[in-house]
Chains A and B, each alone.
Chain A
């Protein structure tokens, strides 16, 4: 079956512009995660959706970052007024969320470059 897909694969934008990143999780996976991977910082948790519960937004670095998950499937991560420090690879993962050791399946990521 299809894995997690993300689009676009690469995004170059100018400082101050808004960007939207899309994640299509594996069908049937109720949990969806966004992470950010930047040089020297490793992978950082951003936000977590589980079913119809309120999302865990504790990892969002500022109020310029937001995410939504429509119909329990596709998710969009929006970054407003992008800054150069937002340049990173944004990774999405999904899981069945049956328990804390459940496997998270990652997409290939979106590489964001803010000029």
Chain B
């Protein structure tokens, strides 16, 4: 069974601080996605990383895919209260016939002013 471990599980910071969320696995994934979910809504895709070592930037968010395609990180610079939410990583196995995602349990981020 492929698992994605996310850390930390909870993160509470002040506006303006930087933070990093980690997503780790012992398995290789063909690609990995990061989602953000707000209460009462479904997850919304932020980014997909496909190539080992890939780095993608989305405004203040920086996503990195590990060289071995087993891990990923999300770094937020100068966090804002609007960044509050549940951040989920999800992997796509190279062995899956379909494209059902394997999700980590998520990191709940709270940014206070």
Contacts and interface: CB of A to CB of B under 8 A. Distances in A.
Contacts of B40: 108-109
Report, nearest first, the 9 A-B pairs whose CB atoms are least far apart: A106-B42, A42-B105, A43-B103, A45-B100, A48-B98, A48-B100, A100-B99, A101-B48, A101-B31
Interface size class of B (residues with CB under 8 A): 20 to 34
Interface of B: 30-31, 33, 40-45, 48, 50, 88, 90, 92, 96-106
Interface string A58-94: 0100000000000000000000000000000001010
A106 B44 contact: yes
Nearest to B92: A100
A50 B42 CA distance: 21
Contact of B100 (A59, A91, A101, A105): A59
A14 interface: no
A31 B99 contact: yes
A3 B70 CA distance: 32
